[in-house]
Structure 1
């Protein structure tokens, strides 16, 4: 993708809409929609790197109630011809066609490489990558198992959604999240993952979410790891103008 002069690519992650409840989440949702309204003016593309919702599961004919402002704004932007790309997070693993069919937004379940103006990016949510985090990795295999998803669909949505929302907030093993404190490069699993990837193949930028911390770490002289932070405490987002990548606060 070539970025036209005066255009930018925008990145955001970890909104967790619906947490800890809909009433407390609503001001954050309105702020995010306001951000979408602002960036659409000069966006060449928008990347959403997962956990937009604190819980999302697509039954055959049902999706979770709510988030009308966000979904409507995404539809508006997509219909205007601005491409939006979505990477599932650990709280919205169970996407299965709704965004593609209703919003024309492609959904990715694994990190993917993109090239913008001759700059290469490896982009993803970030959960379960790198060494460690074995408890969550085992749990993720259960969550993504087709038979387990089939069993969950047999729960009535009123029961299934309520149960999943409770576990999403209360069970840190299921959420796969640690306290949002920088652990040092040697203990940050995503940093170690990016260093290993960089040793195999060069990327100019590694852009992830999941850690809920805005981070910019040089992996070497020509490669950088960036974590987008979140829309709970930091309200940070990334901007690539064709040459440089910067984190901003909204």
Structure 2
């Protein structure tokens, strides 16, 4: 491989307020500038925005710097994938038309340099959380999106912004490792390994950087978030590494 592959998620742009979100956006753009020279593919694996909804002629205002940077990277031939997360599941075709990003609704299986990757934001997987899994089906339904689109954008986006202030991403407490036998995404990955082999399972959503050996030369890597950790993963063609952006050379 001449270029590297980068994975990041859970920027949660828009929360908890404008000032903090704007500072985080600047940090992310700095990271994109840092990785751009050797980046061949970029996987943005969900919850890039704390809320996103595309009306027919309206999108949430703001976030112009990251959109401009991603557009510039795409124009240089870098392939960018955008996974729907539980906060930005209402992404439609705007980013595809304007930037050229490929939108991924659920899991994506890829093979690079003879390594198999299972990629997913991570929401709705594994045991438990039946309430969210039920709500996820409702929120992702065309009827729900059609009904929300009937709201005036000022009302709809205003309601969503108010809801975001109480979301998990708006809190500053760091997540705690629960033990491999209780980490639901590790459990899910092990279940998938019973069916077929993957070298790497890469998820976001958990908000905790993790790199767990699942046995049989398979690993589960959670790429964390950018409120507390500024964490991401990079594959150089040989190995996958979990790294942290410090903003320093």
TM-score where L is the length of structure 1: 0.94
Give the whole-Å Cα distance in 2 for the aligned partners of 1:105 and 1:131: 31
Residue aligning to 1:91: 87
Select 1:226's aligned residue among 215, 221, 229.
221
Select 1:237's aligned residue among 227, 232, 238.
232
Residue aligning to 1:201: 196
Residue aligning to 2:29: 33
Tell me the CA shift for residue 221 of structure 1.
Answer: 3.2
Residue 192 of structure 1 aligns to a residue whose secondary structure is helix
Give the whole-Å Cα distance in 2 for the aligned partners of 1:187 and 1:169: 28
Give the whole-Å Cα distance in 2 for the aligned partners of 1:189 and 1:147: 30
Aligned length: 242
Matched, 1:132 2:140: no
Give the whole-Å Cα distance in 2 for the aligned partners of 1:13 and 1:213: 11
The CA deviation string for residues 84-127 of structure 1, in whole angstroms up to 9 with x for no partner, is: 11111100000110111111000101111000100000011000
Matched, 1:42 2:38: yes
TM-score where L is the length of structure 2: 0.94
Residue aligning to 2:159: 163
Give the whole-Å Cα distance in 1 for the aligned partners of 2:174 and 2:226: 16
Select 2:57's aligned residue among 42, 61, 67.
61
Select 1:79's aligned residue among 59, 75, 97.
75
The CA deviation string for residues 191-237 of structure 1, in whole angstroms up to 9 with x for no partner, is: 11100111101000000100010000011131000000110000011
Residue aligning to 1:114: 110
Give the whole-Å Cα distance in 2 for the aligned partners of 1:166 and 1:69: 23
Give the whole-Å Cα distance in 1 for the aligned partners of 2:134 and 2:11: 25
Alpha-carbon RMSD across the aligned residues, in angstroms, is: 1.4
Unmatched 5+ stretches in structure 1: none
Matched, 1:153 2:179: no
The structure-2 alpha-carbon separation of the partners of 1:171 and 1:21, relative to structure 1 and needing over 3 Å to count, comes to closer
